[in-house]
């Protein structure tokens, strides 16, 4: 028996039209560094999205599923592209502004991008690459910046505002198949070339609904979210689409991602929510500790991309800001878990739940797989690799413009589950605790040592700003941990004291014998610890290691 329900496609177009009509008075506020930020209502953003669609179709010839890339900061123009490009049937491709030049060239070529919309301030990055980007036929420049770097460029160059000016503010949006490609993002390419993940209209729509659930980010039309997480990082964790769906006001920081302007915009614009990786919040904490600012409006922060040190959570608790753990990947759109403790608990009783990665929503199925391929119980003790599946989780990677898809064995199981590469345990209540990346776990004398656990314990020390732990070869045990620490200003290294501090919470056999101080932990293009750089530094003898 079939249902009697209407079969209405779940598309980005419906998010766009709903947001600009039902929530037309909600605002996208873009920080400009000027006394007054730029403010546009959702209705105005929707009208400008229609104008952009006309320009792309009529002037630039985008009439199908061509790829339109963005090299933009988080701002209003980027939101317009987010909504316009998929709604007209093309595919949005946000480019990671922090990728190395060679990877950026590879990604643009692999995606076969025809158009690039770029902020003027990022022209020094794009301009020198254009001779090596043969697929790019048009460059659209938004905002101030030196256009001279585009002199002699092969692609046609357009000014964003001039291109959309005078065009109709409505568009006859096509009725699209909800399984059609809407947007694509590439992984950060920490090992090998970046891998392309293509999101469907359906997956974006369903993911947006999940982001808006009370057990996820739990935002409403009364909220303002500070979208620090870059729009090239898994579609800003789905916040732009979710915000337009629910009327959530957006505060966009543009290029002002440093602690001082972030503190200023929080104090002046009073957002109630924010989202970013831990390194952002560590930098902001240092700033407001040295120069106190009022962060009291920002009651809730979604933190992901890397494990959040419990000491950082505790520090923000004292400021009245609650950091909420989430876990996800480019391949999971990205919401995979969100840490909301069960009801009826005291603050002390909530703590063991808060420091987990959280619970799986209804749209995400999970399982743990042991070294021999066995499925492990959810007993909060049995550690294995996390595998997931669901309607907003990738089933393959983009193989290129010939339409091929890639399902490498190390990324997908035979029965279609995504192998996350994360190692952890799951409780009987469904709370995930990650203990390491599969590639980072330290195998010492036949036992596993969690680099995450050692790092979190070290970062609880008052003299330690950051810490990263890697496995290094050991003649006796196979591998042993090397602790690399970044000290706070004015602190000095006392490795014996640090080791004794670790010994309060970590088993003695797991304590590192090798220690070194580094100026900063290397980061990937999305702010995660880049341990492969530290491994190479150690292998090349570039680290001054003390062995206790």
pLDDT in single tens digits along all 548 residues of the chain: 999 999 999 999 999 999 999 999 999 999 999 999 999 999 999 999 999 999 999 999 999 999 999 999 999 999 999 999 999 999 999 999 988 899 999 999 999 999 999 999 999 999 999 999 999 999 999 999 999 999 988 999 999 999 999 999 999 999 999 999 999 999 875 557 889 999 999 999 999 999 999 999 999 999 999 999 999 999 999 999 999 999 999 999 999 999 999 999 999 999 999 999 988 999 999 999 999 999 999 999 999 987 788 999 999 999 999 999 999 999 999 999 999 999 999 999 999 999 999 999 999 999 999 888 999 999 999 999 999 999 999 999 999 877 789 999 999 999 999 999 999 999 999 999 998 887 888 988 877 788 988 999 999 999 999 999 999 999 888 899 999 999 999 999 899 999 999 999 888 989 999 999 999 999 887 778 889 899 999 999 999 999 99
Q: Is 411 helix (H, G, I), strand (E, B) or coil?
A: coil
From 439, 443, 488, 536, active-site residue: 443
Residue 170: Cβ within 10 Å count: 11
Options 44, 448, 479, 513, the catalytic residue? 448
pLDDT of 162 reads 98
Q: How would you label 130-157 residue by residue, b for 16+ Cβ within 10 Å and e otherwise?
A: beebebbbbbbbbbebeeeebeebebee
Q: Residues 187, 279, 330, 516: which is the catalytic one?
A: 187
In the sheet where 464-474 sits, what is the strand order? Answer: 464-474, 478-487, 514-517, 546-547
Write the CB contacts of 330 (distance below 8 Å, at least 6 apart in sequence).
185, 186, 187, 188, 195, 197, 234, 394
Residue pair 324/340 in contact (Cβ under 8 Å)? The answer is yes
Domains and CATH numbers, the chain: 7-257 (3.40.50.12780), 259-332 (3.40.50.980), 336-438 (2.30.38.10), 440-547 (3.30.300.30)
Q: How many CB atoms lie within 10 A of CB 336?
A: 28
Q: What is the model's pLDDT at position 190?
A: 56
Question: To the nearest 10°, the Cα dihedral for 44, 299, 254, 312?
Answer: -160
pTM over 0.85: yes
Q: Which of 77, 80, 331, 387 is catalytic?
A: 331
β-pairing verdict for 38-41 and 27-30 = antiparallel
Residue 443 annotated as catalytic: yes
The question of whether 448 is a catalytic residue gets the answer yes
Does 331 qualify as catalytic in the annotation?
A: yes
CB atoms within 10 A of CB 395: 13
Q: What is the pLDDT of residue 189?
A: 59
């Amino acid at each position: 028996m079939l249902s009697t329900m209407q079969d209405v496609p779940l598309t980005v177009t419906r998010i766009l039209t709903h947001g600009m009509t039902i929530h037309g008075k909600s605002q996208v506020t873009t920080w400009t560094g000027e006394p007054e930020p730029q403010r546009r209502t959702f209705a105005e953003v929707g009208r400008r999205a229609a104008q952009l669609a006309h320009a792309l179709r009529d002037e630039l010839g985008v009439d199908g599923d061509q790829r339109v890339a963005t090299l933009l900061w988080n701002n209003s123009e980027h939101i317009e592209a987010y909504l316009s490009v998929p709604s007209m049937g093309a595919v949005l491709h946000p480019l990671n502004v922090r990728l190395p030049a060679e990877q950026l060239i590879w990604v643009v070529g692999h995606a076969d991008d025809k158009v690039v919309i770029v902020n003027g301030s990022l022209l020094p990055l794009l301009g020198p690459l254009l001779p090596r980007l043969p697929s790019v036929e048009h460059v659209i420049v938004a905002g101030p910046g030196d256009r001279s770097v585009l002199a002699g460029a092969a692609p046609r160059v357009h000014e964003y505002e001039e291109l959309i000016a005078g065009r109709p503010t409505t568009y006859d949006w096509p009725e699209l198949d909800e399984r059609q490609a809407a947007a694509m993002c590439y992984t950060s390419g920490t090992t090998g070339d970046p891998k392309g993940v293509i999101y469907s209209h359906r997956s974006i729509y369903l993911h947006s609904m999940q982001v808006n659930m009370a057990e996820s980010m739990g935002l409403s039309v009364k909220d303002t979210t500070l979208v620090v997480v870059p729009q090239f990082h898994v579609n800003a964790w789905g916040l732009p689409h979710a915000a337009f769906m629910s009327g959530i006001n957006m505060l966009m920081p543009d290029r002002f991602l440093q602690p001082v302007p972030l503190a200023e915009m929080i104090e002046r614009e009073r957002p109630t929510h924010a989202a970013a990786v831990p390194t952002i919040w560590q930098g902001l904490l240092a700033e407001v500790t040295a120069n106190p600012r009022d962060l009291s409006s920002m009651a809730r922060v979604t933190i992901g991309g890397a494990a959040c040190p419990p000491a950082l959570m505790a520090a923000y608790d004292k400021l009245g800001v609650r950091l909420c753990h989430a876990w996800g990947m480019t391949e999971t759109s990205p919401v995979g878990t969100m840490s909301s403790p069960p009801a009826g608990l005291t603050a002390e009783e909530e703590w063991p739940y808060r420091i987990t990665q959280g619970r799986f929503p209804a749209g995400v199925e999970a399982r743990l797989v042991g070294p021999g391929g066995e499925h492990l119980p959810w007993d909060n003790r049995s550690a294995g690799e996390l595998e997931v599946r669901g309607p907003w989780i990738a089933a393959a990677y983009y193989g290129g413009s010939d339409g091929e898809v890639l399902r490498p064995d190390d990324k997908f199981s035979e029965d279609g589950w995504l192998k996350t590469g994360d190692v952890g345990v799951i409780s009987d209540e469904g709370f995930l605790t990650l203990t390491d990346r599969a590639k980072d776990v330290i195998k010492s004398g036949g036992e596993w040592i969690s680099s995450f656990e050692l790092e979190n314990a070290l970062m609880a020390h008052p003299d330690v700003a950051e810490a990263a732990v890697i496995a290094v070869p050991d003649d006796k045990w196979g591998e042993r941990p090397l602790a690399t620490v970044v000290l706070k200003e004015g602190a000095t290294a006392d490795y014996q004291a640090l080791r004794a501090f670790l010994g309060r919470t970590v088993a003695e056999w797991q304590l590192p014998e090798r220690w070194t101080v580094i100026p900063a932990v290397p980061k990937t293009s999305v702010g995660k610890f880049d341990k492969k750089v530290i491994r190479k530094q150690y292998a090349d003898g570039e680290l001054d290691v003390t062995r206790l």
